[in-house]
Structure 1
Amino acid sequence: MVDSEQLSALIGDIYDAALDPALWPAVVRATSVFVGGGSCNLSRTDSLNHDLDVSVDWGSDPHYMHLMATEYGRIYPLPPLIMAYARPGDLVWADMLMPYEDFLRTRFYREWARPQGLCDAVGVVLEKSATTFATVTVMLYERHGRVDDGVRERMRLLGPHFRRAVAIGRILEQRPVLGSSYAAVLDSVSAGIFLLDRSGRLVRSNAAGERLLERGHPLRRQAGRLAAPAEATTRALDEAVAQAVRGRDGGPAQGTALPLGETIDDGWVAHVLPLSPGRQGLPAEAPAAAAVFVQRVTLDRPHALEAIAKQYNITPAEMRVLVCVTEANGIREIAGLLGCAETTVRTHLRRIFEKTGARRQADVIKLLASFSGPLG
């Protein structure tokens, strides 16, 4: 059963951390406790270089995180499957991506996870590009047991708020929004930023926001408030601001992502979040009760593995073998990495060859390179 007060407080803290990155360590600790794990991190994985950049971590063993960065990241079986099959916003855990028994047989589990007592993990894909993806991940150890419905539900409740907070943090480029150079910092951000009072009236906007209002798209100023081209969108924006204000005043904390354009292809999105009095450096008497961040989003190219999986109907089991072709020297080594029989590897390779038209492992490597392209 979810503690609604604990959930509401944690969601508020997540949005606070979007404006003040120094709060993230406390947020990931609280996330681990709330979800029911033993450690938690925010990280970005570069699938081309097998680099794991952990920006915030709580509870992990530094020795094993070093081993992950220097040795085991290249044979971690889950990231290629996330790149190939998961979408931003998706909830992911070990046996959702591959059979759990297969995971236990991998060299990664035997040498890196099992010595720590680590038995499972659950995460949310926050962002994804052609070569990288970012996640918030909670690790479960033997004392916690494996991921179950309760763990998934608690992580699912937090996922959208982490995504919005990270998007807002990226907009702000992790600069402190508040302080002595408050107006100057706001004006240095390329996204439009609008601060609204409790009634939804516009209190302040940055330079980028003013340019959007002067152009009248995707927002315009109407009777001191923000208005969108479509009346229904304006009503949705007003309701999102009202939700943010309720979260500010102690109600359920809310943050909302809202498309603003007249069509989906417009790509304009507003992120609305509450501004708590006395937090993020705001004085208690500050009139701003909610912030609206507006930017135009673009779709990233699909990762090579995602494109190959779709074009050739590659299954997750085949994908694990396909990825190992680039990391291992021959069938025996692939079998060792995956913890399976050599005959199993041969079977998957034969199917990969049939589907792609490859005749040997070198052809598979060339196929991966052709999908990656000169820009990765």
Structure 2
Amino acid sequence: MQQASVEKFSDLIGAIYDCVITPERWTEVLDEICAEFGFATGALSVTSLTNMSARVNAVSRSDLAQMAHNGIAYGADIIELWGGVERIQQYPLGEPIVQSQAVRQDIISNNRYYREWAMPKGLFDAVAVGLVRDRMMVGNAIFSQHQSAGPIGDAQLDGLRILAPHIRRAVTISNLFDMKTVEAATFAATVEALTVGVVLADEESKIVHANAAATAMLAAGDPIVDRQGRIAVQSAATTSTLQSAIAQAAKDEATLGQKGIGIPIPSAGGDPLVIHVLPLRRSHMRSGLNQRAAAALFVASASGPPRLPHDALTQLYDLTPAEIRIFELICEGETRDAISSLLGVSLSTVKSHLFHVFEKTGCRRQVDLVRLAKSLTFPV
């Protein structure tokens, strides 16, 4: 990728984070993603499972909105088009899933949504990225490919893999604001009023400011701690992970990637908590919180109990959700071919992810991965 493209990509990631404050900009961001990677349409959907309301519902280059307005209901058909509910739940978050690779062609061809809506518009394939899937929310981004553009290529998938953790982080933090637009001028006041703890930190993890909820947490020393002016938690390993994410957010938010999304932290109260790291520096909207702050740390309730060794693999080895899922399936005795079929990804993608798992964990053989998984049976 040429330097100009890298700079454009960085701006795109910055625009994604601006959607935390102004979620109506998601349509503009989807337009940019489609233009950057040659997709015909893009759609972003995040739904609350508590009341089934849409948190975010943005579409790009598509008349899907008109379809909904006309009352054409394809919900069940679209779920079927991606393999059904159980199959969808197997797909790793953040991993682009190509429809034609994940689902048999006869199922696609006979699908009502595909026959009545997608195919007449020349949309012959699509790629989906799971953004959130827990007891509170479910969210996905789906991009369609026009037949004139040819098959979905590796460059498109690689680009979505880079963007996915940034979109996931933005969507997750936006939910703490109830996905409502926050005026840049009142962003600081809105943060102050949040019931979740928010700490602003500089590039060295020094505490610049804490809202009322975070101030109470710091005073109690639970779950966050003020250690000589730096933000920390009780676990040394988790503190290192957190401070590394803050430093990376300050240095280059575009390369933050998976770091700083849902870092699990211990709490004396027993309720599982996580920290989300939002970069602040590159945008005037986000930097309006405090000029000295490099990142905003949101201390929020976790969507479920801690998952071990899942959380340890994220913290200690920076494995992506796709890499963790393949790690888990390898440890369950699944072959690479079986994993390819189960997850709806190509065999070469499985091999690539597995290579990264070995590289990041320092393991050489699959038996070493099994041994590592058994050793990660307690919080770190």
TM-score normalised to structure 2 length: 0.68
Runs of 4+ in 1 over 6 A off after TM superposition: 49-54
Q: Is the 8 A contact 1:268 1:295 kept in 2?
A: yes
Change beyond 3 A, Cα 1:130–1:100: farther
Residue number in structure 2 paired with 1:29: 31
Which segment drifts farther, 239-248 or 69-78?
A: 69-78
Q: What are the ranges of 5 or more consecutive residues in structure 2 without an aligned counterpart? A: 306-380
Structure 1 residue aligned with 2:6, among 4, 10, 13?
A: 4
**Matched position secondary structure for 2:296:** strand
d(CA) in 2 for partners of 1:180 and 1:272? 21
Work out whether 1:152 is the aligned partner of 2:154.
no
d(CA) in 2 for partners of 1:131 and 1:261? 19
Q: Is the 8 A contact 1:267 1:297 kept in 2?
A: yes
Residue number in structure 2 paired with 1:78: 81
Residue 4 of structure 1: how far off its partner (Å): 2.8
d(CA) in 1 for partners of 2:240 and 2:214? 20
CA-atom RMSD in angstroms: 3.5
Q: Is the 8 A contact 1:277 1:283 kept in 2?
A: no
Residue 141 of structure 1: how far off its partner (Å): 1.0
Residue 118 of structure 1: how far off its partner (Å): 0.7
Residue 40 of structure 1: how far off its partner (Å): 1.1
Q: Aligned residues: percent identity?
A: 29
Structure 1 residue aligned with 2:20, among 5, 18, 21?
A: 18
**Matched position secondary structure for 2:223:** coil
Q: Which structure has the bigger radius of gyration?
A: 1
d(CA) in 1 for partners of 2:206 and 2:291? 14
Structure 2 residue aligned with 1:261, among 261, 265, 272?
A: 265
Change beyond 3 A, Cα 1:69–1:246: farther
d(CA) in 1 for partners of 2:63 and 2:248? 39
**Matched position secondary structure for 1:140:** strand
Residue number in structure 1 paired with 2:63: 61
Number of residue pairs matched by the alignment: 298
Residue number in structure 1 paired with 2:196: 191
Q: Is the 8 A contact 2:201 2:296 kept in 1?
A: yes
d(CA) in 1 for partners of 2:283 and 2:293? 11
Q: Is the 8 A contact 1:86 1:125 kept in 2?
A: yes
**Matched position secondary structure for 1:152:** helix
Structure 2 residue aligned with 1:240, among 242, 245, 253?
A: 245
Q: Is the 8 A contact 1:195 1:291 kept in 2?
A: yes
Change beyond 3 A, Cα 1:141–1:61: same
Structure 1 residue aligned with 2:114, among 97, 106, 109?
A: 109
Give the letter aligned to residue 120 of structure 1: D
d(CA) in 2 for partners of 1:280 and 1:270? 21
Give the letter aligned to residue 127 of structure 2: V
Q: Is the 8 A contact 1:18 1:166 kept in 2?
A: yes
Give the letter aligned to residue 260 of structure 2: T
Give the letter aligned to residue 261 of structure 2: A
**Matched position secondary structure for 2:142:** strand
Change beyond 3 A, Cα 1:148–1:226: same
Q: What are the ranges of 5 or more consecutive residues in structure 1 without an aligned counterpart? A: 301-376
Which segment drifts farther, 173-182 or 287-296?
A: 173-182
**Matched position secondary structure for 2:285:** coil
Which segment drifts farther, 270-279 or 79-88?
A: 79-88
Change beyond 3 A, Cα 1:46–1:252: closer
Residue 50 of structure 1: how far off its partner (Å): 11
Residue number in structure 2 paired with 1:352: none
Residue number in structure 2 paired with 1:339: none
Q: Is the 8 A contact 1:83 1:133 kept in 2?
A: no
